[in-house]
Structure 1
């Protein structure tokens, strides 16, 4: 049975796509799954994260990494999904025809939204593309600050999007940036709120994939 595919997409840069992709990969790896990561972003942040991680060989067991162009992603996914339980695609910050091939191969589209109105506005075009391709999309709030007016406003506005907004979110924590720079997942940096957030989001995404 071929592995499932998650495409992480967002038009606006700095929304946390790589943070989401890397932490989901580690979350599912810790559940015993074989996970392949594909970096479509020319900036190559996910690739740099993986190569930093690969400096400790044990840390890449159960993980595979590849790069691809938009036009080659269908072939790359077929190959990787045949060898892994899950394929996670990190895409460039755009919402145009180049993104469509990565959406087309997805079983699930994850859309991170940093907690700002500007990020929320940029989400609509990605959700529109996902809908045109007939793909289910889940919105994940990122870098939220509990108890702030902005956080509450964005969460309320997000509820009006044409996609499910997961209650599981990533808060604004240094642990995420620190872990990424070390080739780690936030949950690998020790016990704490970030580890709990990654575990909760991984479980929510697993349930969404199982539901089809």
Structure 2
């Protein structure tokens, strides 16, 4: 059965596209058929996909959709793929609801910023109303800093579901995104361990 993973966060710059692209690559490298669906008017995931395609890498499907076309595109892509990964605009309103409604899991990236943390509640509230499971992913995280410790503690106190895996604040994520690639295509390193662990954690939660 195909699964839809939607990456959503009200605050811009939280790393939604980076997370979506790297999960797409990680799932593809694990042998799954993957499609990415860009619903953000900025089109960052689409630019990433086209850069990838221009480099001769054609290992996943791609589509775009306006807010209310998400369900149709997801249903179509699920017929030929194991996973559909949806990137969304940085906002939480009625336009986001169709993407969340189509999802089997909603991934909410949170960077090392109190502002990112404050923006989480609206996504979690909407997901809860739609009875959709969520997973918060600490992204571009700076371990060992006071703000990092504060955010980690606040998430634990909130009782929100949080991935055990943390994605570090590494230049390689930015570099590979601009090349139409994922960090797993850069070779072995702390980044590959992180992304593979997150992929496996998500897969385990879907079973």
CA distance in 2, matches of 1:129, 1:67: 23
What is aligned with 1:55?
54
Aligned residue for 2:197, secondary structure, equals helix
Q: CA deviation at 1:162?
A: 4.9
Structure 1, unaligned runs of 5 or more: none
* Length-normalised TM-score, structure 2: 0.98
Residue among 160, 165, 183 paired with 1:186: 183
Other-structure match for 1:22 = 21
CA contact (8 A) 1:138 1:166 kept: yes
Deviation at 1:56, TM superposition (A): 2.5
Question: CA offset at residue 163 of structure 1?
Answer: 2.4
Give, in whole Å, the separation in 2 of the partners of 1:159 and 1:127.
15
The superposition leaves residues 44-98 of structure 1 with CA deviations (integer Å, 9 ceiling, x where unpaired) of 00000000000132x222x001000111111111000011000000000001111
Aligned equivalents of 1:148, 1:189: Cα separation in 2: 27
Distance 1:7 1:146 in 2: 26
1:155-205 per-position Cα deviation (integer Å, ceiling 9, x unaligned): 001123352111101100000000100001011112111111110000001
Aligned pair count?
A: 207
Say whether the 8 Å CA contact 1:140–1:168 is kept in structure 2. yes
Runs of 5+ consecutive residues of structure 2 not aligned to the other structure: none
Matching of residue 109 in structure 1 with residue 132 in structure 2: no
1:115-154 aligned at under 5 Å gives the runs 115-154=112-151
CA RMSD of aligned residues (A): 0.9
| TM-score normalised by L of structure 1 | 0.95
Partner Cα separation in structure 2 for residue 21 and residue 83 of structure 1: 19
Deviations, residues 94-123 of structure 1 (Å, cap 9, x unaligned)? 011110000000000000001111100000
Q: Which runs of 4 or more aligned residues in structure 1 lie more than 3 Å from their structure 2 counterparts after TM superposition?
A: none
Deviation at 1:10, TM superposition (A): 0.3
